[in-house]
Amino acid sequence: MNVAPKTLRHLSDLDQAGLAPAGQRAALERVAARYAIAITPAMDALIDRTDPNDPIARQFVPDPAELDAAPVELADPIGDHAHSPVDGIVHRYPDRVLLKLTHVCAVYCRFCFRREMVGPDAEALAPAQLDGAFAYIAAHPDVWEVVLTGGDPLVLSARRLRQAMARLADIDHVKVIRVHSRVPIADPARITDELVDALKIDGKATYVVVHANHARELTAAARQACARMIDAGIPTLSQTVLLAGVNDEPQTLGALMRALVECRIKPYYLHHGDLAPGTAHLRTTIERGQELMRALHGRYSGLCQPSYVLDIPGGHGKSPVGPSYLSQDGNGRVQVEDFNGGLHCYPPQS
């Protein structure tokens, strides 16, 4: 009898899958005691066991380096708590809020900025807390957009998603609902017609933002899952985290952006790595990120250009940190740099 592959959630699972070196066992037990583990069959199937630097494994397989927390790293690196007026809500920007429906994910990324808050043992919102979150949104008419996040909202059943969407449909001033999810990539079988239908409600625009960090993640199944949403009329964008050893080379990052565009997914954000505890081995410098954006500029279609952003520690929001192409010459005239490094006065000098 064939046994369906299962999500790897424990060190014993990693042992059996050949993903936990015996010499690292004690350190990995300490990592697993602090941070959740989950590697779906779809992601496990992509891991190259012969490559010690496999970019898929690097994202999901626990590493003893996670025990090394740098002094600048923070349990809440982007300041969710400072902007959480009620349970389940983060209200950082005037016209939009985050609504955290769940703290569970299909996979647990080793670089997650909410790694101290998410996991199977995280406390879910009680019905009264959920009521309070929707009441908060209803009481704030400036909230034009609600971003469903977590955890991962698409781990919920179609029934629960439909209930949440229906409650948002009843709030007239909410016009846009944005769903951030790793599920279409990490567990594409969950993107059923029923779930897609649950995301669509009359009178609201629904967008999905999928999280992908390497072109190999866009398997045939993942592409079909994304196409199911897009063909149903749900615009789909992407977010990517810049990760050392995963996508910090121009060809690798460019290949990902092209693969997304080929799937009719518009690259939206390239996030600089957040200061989450134990993630220094996965972070690049901002200078490296700017070099990569320069490498994409002009050599890859404008459709392939995400916004490179830094979520400012402490809850001050995202800011673009991409390279500048403007400077001044010795006479104070504006110069614009082209993608080949040439400088041109603007307006041109006669």
- Catalytic (active-site) positions: 92-93, 96, 105, 109, 112, 114, 274, 311, 318
Distance separating alpha carbons of residues 30 and 27, to the nearest angstrom: 5
Beta carbons of 150 and 118 less than 8 angstroms apart:
yes
* Residues 213, 11: Cα–Cα separation, whole Å: 24
First-residue to last-residue Cα distance in the chain = 80
The four Cα atoms 29, 40, 265, 102 give a dihedral, to 10 degrees, of: -70
Q: Rounded CA gap, 48 and 46, in Å?
A: 6
Contact 269, 239 (CB under 8 A): yes
237 Cβ contact list (under 8 Å, min separation 6): 207, 208, 209, 210, 265, 266, 267, 268
The CB density around residue 96, as the number of other CB atoms within 10 Å, is: 17
Number of Cβ atoms within 10 Å of the Cβ of 143: 21
Strand partners of residue 300: 297
Of 303, 186, 302, 312, residue with least CA distance to 237: 303
Hey, what are 220's tokens?
Answer: 């045939």
Q: How far apart are CA 196 and CA 158, in angstroms?
A: 8
- Tokens representing residue 156 in the block: 């919920």
Tell me the CA distances in angstroms from 84 to 75, 91, 137, 202, 260, one per residue in order: 15, 6, 12, 29, 33
Closest CA to 96 of 156, 154, 180: 180
